[in-house]
Amino acid sequence: MLSQLLYKKGIESVVLERKTRDYVLGRIRAGILEVGFVGLMREAGVSERMDKEGLVHDGAVISFGEEQFGINFKAHTGSNIVVYGQTEVTRDLYDAREAAGGKIVFSVENVVIHDADCDAPFVTYDIDGAEQHVTCDYVAGCDGFHGVSRQTIPLEVRQEFEKVYPFGWLGVLSQTPPVHKELIYASSERGFALCSMRNDKLSRYYIQCSLSDSPDDWTDAAFWKELKRRIPAEHAAKLVTGPSIEKSIAPLRSFVTEPMRWGRLFLCGDAAHIVPPTGAKGLNTAASDIHYLYHGLVDYYQSGDGEGLERYSEKALARVWKAERFSWWMTNLLHRFPDQSRFDLKMQKAEFEFLRENAGAQMVMAQNYVGLPY
């Protein structure tokens, strides 16, 4: 995304990717785009397919056992979200970069970022056994939680904040119609479940599972049976099941590193922060980082104004922490925790009821869900 946005402003970049193109485009990720993300897709000139195929959603359903209510994001904020898979976003961006002759190098190994705290940083990497060298003005570390970028920042400079949750999400993609026109976020005695979708023939479902589970432990039949037990009976009765075409387990974690900039190295997305998936803020929070970095770089190259780059970490973190809070809140509201007391359960129920009854609480949720302003 950053590479494509910069290209539009005449600023050159090289993208280094550890995996192959096919690998990246075979991964299933979340599929909810905030209003700001949709704007970035348009600005990058890659919104044609999203505008045609993306599903505009004005609200979502929240259930607690058999009780349920809808939150209308549009009524509370004037905005909606778009359901369009992250994998499709990546495909559109790859296609646009390639059509414009952009440079994306796949299957790189041994990436090292050199002299990030000096005026002349460079990056080395291996491809087909030969070392390559890229001199650059700036390095955007968009290489995920396990990438080299964050590790490049010395430990004395870095502060890390983390919370690990005692469960995972088991996700299934199936060629079946979605159970409901809106997403359903479900809390039940047996744990959390989420009913989502990609289009009218492709559904995405998740259930909270044990961290010791492996996807092979879950037959398709066992998954569907468990999902039905966690959503209100009215929806369970309508659920169309079918063979899974993808099944995977993701652990849940909240993580932030500070600062997000060291010299000429800027951390973006999962390289700097992780959210639990509840609320689909991962991709969207990466996108807000890109917004701040993109504008900082454009201001610098177009008018020599370095303030946006200087303040990148501060601006990005201010928004990141709010997305962290929202994902943590939604995770706490909807999951069953192994050490939860009877009191804790009453607190979850009271929070659910307050949200159902209180327009102010719904507005807070809606503002966060459609995305806080950049």
Stretch that binds ligand DHB, among 9-17, 123-131, 274-282, 287-295 (CB under 6 A): 274-282
CB count within 10 Å of CB 363 equals 15
User: Torsion over CA of 57, 59, 64 and 67, rounded to 10 degrees?
Assistant: -110
Alpha helices in the chain (DSSP H): 2-8, 21-26, 35-43, 48-53, 73-77, 86-99, 148-152, 220-230, 233-236, 282-303, 307-310, 312-334, 342-357, 359-370
Instruction: Show contacts with ligand DHB in window 129-188 (CB under 6 A).
Output: 183
Judged by CB under 6 A, the residue of 16, 280, 297, 365 near ligand DHB is 280
**57 annotated active-site:** yes
**Which one among 277, 294, 296, 366 touches ligand DHB, defined by CB under 6 A?**
277
Is 294 tagged catalytic?
no
Least Cβ distance, residue 183 to ligand DHB (angstroms): 6
Amino acid at 92: D
The C-alpha atoms of residue 284 and residue 45 are separated, in whole angstroms, by 18
Site for ligand DHB in 39-98 (CB under 6 A): none
Near ligand DHB by CB under 6 A: residue from 203, 278, 285, 331: 278
Instruction: Kindly state whether residue 287 participates in binding ligand DHB, applying the rule CB under 6 A.
Output: no
Q: Judged by CB, which is closer to ligand DHB: 111, or 283? A: 283
The rounded distance, in Å, linking the Cα atoms of 69 and 347 is 18
Does 30 bind ligand DHB (CB under 6 A)? Our answer is yes
Q: Which of 212, 119, 107 is nearest to 170 (CA)?
A: 212
- The answer to whether residue 276 is catalytic is no
Q: Are 61 and 182 in contact (CB under 8 A)?
A: yes
Of 59, 102, 191, 279, the residue at the interface with ligand DHB (CB under 6 A) is 279
Task: Output the smallest distance, CB 56 to ligand DHB, in A.
Answer: 14
- The span from the CA of 351 to the CA of 191, in Å, is 16
The active-site residue, picked from 206, 273, 277, 312, is 277
- Residues numbered 185 to 244 that lie near ligand DHB (CB under 6 A) are 194, 196, 204
Listed ranges 66-74, 209-217, 271-279, 294-302: which one lies at the site for ligand DHB (CB under 6 A): 271-279
- Two tokens, residue 250: 């993701």
Taking each helix axis from N to C terminus, what angle separates 359-370 and 312-334, rounded to the nearest 10 degrees? Answer: 130
Among 16, 32, 209, 323, binds ligand DHB (CB under 6 A): 32
In whole angstroms, the minimum distance from the beta carbon of 78 to ligand DHB comes to 21
Q: Is 374 among the residues known to form the active site? A: no
Q: Tell me the β-bridge partners of 195.
A: 184, 205
Q: Does 31 bind ligand DHB (CB under 6 A)?
A: yes
Which of 55, 78, 69 is CA-nearest to residue 363?
Answer: 78
Q: Contact letters (x/-) for ligand DHB, 90-119, by CB under 6 A?
A: ------------------------------
Q: What count of other Cβ atoms lies within 10 Å of the Cβ of residue 343?
A: 7
Residue (of 269, 270, 16, 271) closest to 123 by Cα position? 16
Which residue, 35 or 148, is less far from ligand DHB as judged by CB?
35
Give catalytic status of residue 243 as yes or no. Answer: no
- Residues in contact with ligand DHB by CB under 6 A are 30-32, 183, 194, 196, 204, 277-280
Q: Which residues are catalytic?
A: 57, 185, 277, 281, 369
